[in-house]
Amino acid sequence: MMQNKGKIYVKKSIILLFWLGVWQILAMCVDNFLLVVTPLQALRALLTLAGQVEFWRSAFDSLWRIAFGFLLGAVLALLLAAISYRYPLAEEVLRPFMVFCKAVPVAVFAVLLLIWWGSSMLAVAICFLVVFPNIYLNTLEGLKSADRGLLEMAEVFRLPLGTQFFYIYRPALKPFLLSAFQLSLGMCWKSGVAAEVIGTPSHSIGGALYLAKIYLDTADLFAWTAGIVVLSVFFEKIIFYGIEVFFRWEPACKDPSMPQKIAGREQRTLCVRNLGKSFHNQWIFRHVDHEFHSGEPYVLDNPSGSGKTTFFRCLCGLERPEEGEVSEMDAFAMQFQEDRLCEDCSAVKNLEMILGDVSQARTALTQLLPEEALDQPCHELSGGMKRRVSLVRAMEAEAQCVLLDEPFTGLDEPVITFLEEDGEILRFLDHVYALVDASVKRYMERGFSNLSVCFGCTGGQHRSVYSAQHLAEHLNKKFGVKVELVHREQNIERTFEATI
């Protein structure tokens, strides 16, 4: 680690020396100190200025003006972006102002504000106008890019708003905010100092640059420019350190889905009355009437594509039916066809979001996951492990009604038993074997070495997994060829080595 850091510092030092050398060569070629001074002359001027009180006062005053304008623009942009995301009308109202801020040159704003307000707060206003639209638009796009599946999960489980922000919206915002802040910080210093040059307020870097230009003091001009670079880098380091801490922080989820826990103790009946749902004038289901009593299990044993998932979504409020109603239950938990986990968080943290208790979450998961997997980010877990986490999340929520939408994978024993007892999958595989066997024979006769066979079904968790597994075993046993099996939705890979 220390050696790597040492190499990085050496690399950066070499790059710095390279550009200083370019500067020195340029100054020697021009050979006119009124146009370009050497690095040594600029350093000498900077040290002279650093010994003066006015230098530090000007640097500090410019720093606070630019920093205040930046922070004011950033805070207001973040706030209004959140409001615009929540209320689309606010976005429509603010859109003309955003277009105006992006289109009008900074110099026009500077002249107008100089006429209206004078020079003292000009840099603050210009920095605000440069930063505000950039951060606002990026933040709004980041909020809109939040994972829709996770937002639906949060709606069903009634996650507190704070939990939703930190673990669903914050990861979506990260790339947008980092880009916006990176761009805004650079533009902020450029426009802020330019505004000071135009307005020339007292005790400012811009004012000092203007005087250096008047007196043709190129050395001081380069010295002040070096000071701007140092202050800009210093300010950027502080801002990005705060951003890094913010995105790294994982606050405890101390607020469980309390309405669900309270309702979970009540015995209720889920009443479905004349329920119907259609898409594009095609009825998925209609005239569904049933009562589901608390404490009793129910199984929807319908063919694939018959609307089971849509029915579940209507029950828990994710879809609005065209007709009918669902009553008497208002607290649901659901295991979706997809896992819908916060991938950057651990399995424990995903369950803690629901339970509000990290020790309870850890205890529940210990029964189904190995100890070393509990604190790993979910994107590092296997497909089967993720499925278990999502199942535990649904079962531990203590809701009035738990909906399990294809809860097991095609490699789980209960699903294999169901598929084989049903018999349909076996007839399907007989046809698959005949078609693929013929292709494999032709490929082997012609000397071809690669043949791809793909299976797909809703969710990629049931029949496709079972079919792919059995076809791989069949081909390897019958032809002795090497077969590479990939369950893409579960991130599982297996190789059957050739036997010929």
pLDDT averaged per 10 residues in sequence order, the chain, 500 residues: 68 84 84 80 84 89 91 95 94 91 80 78 88 94 92 90 91 93 90 85 84 83 87 92 92 68 59 86 85 79 76 86 80 84 91 88 84 88 80 82 72 58 73 81 81 71 76 83 78 72
DSSP assignment string, 306-357: SSHHHHHHHHTTSS--SEEEEES---EEEE-SS----TTSBHHHHHHHHHS-
pLDDT of residue 263: 46
CA distance 160 to 261: 14
H or E element that contains 114: helix 106-117
**Is the Cβ–Cβ distance between 153 and 207 less than 8 Å?**
no
Pairing of strands 269-279, 282-293: antiparallel
Q: What is the DSSP letter of 460?
A: G
Element (H, E) at 467: helix 463-479
Q: So what's the pLDDT on residue 275?
A: 87
pLDDT, residue 144, reads: 93
Running DSSP on this structure, what letter comes out for residue 374?
Answer: T
Query: pLDDT value at position 151?
Result: 92
Contacts of 389 (CB under 8 A, 6+ apart): 339, 341, 347, 350, 351, 365, 368, 369, 378, 381
Beta-strand relationship, 323-327 and 269-279: antiparallel
Q: How many CA atoms lie within 13 A of 334 on its CB side?
A: 27
Separation CA 231–CA 237 (nearest Å): 10
The pLDDT score that the predictor gives to residue 3 is 59
- Alpha carbon 347 to chain centroid, angstroms: 18
Q: Which two tokens stand for residue 22?
A: 């370019």
According to DSSP, residue 377 is labeled B
CA–CA separation, 142 and 27 (whole Å): 46
Q: What is the pLDDT of residue 260?
A: 46
Q: Residue 327 forms beta bridges with which residues?
A: 271
Closest CA to 345 of 448, 251, 472, 456: 251
Residues 390, 409: Cα–Cα separation, whole Å: 12
Residue indicated by tokens 């761009």: 183
Which residue bears the tokens 């399907």?
Answer: 428
Would you state the structure tokens that stand for residue 16, as one six-digit string?
């710095």
pLDDT for 94 equals: 92
Q: Which residue matches tokens 């109202």?
A: 93
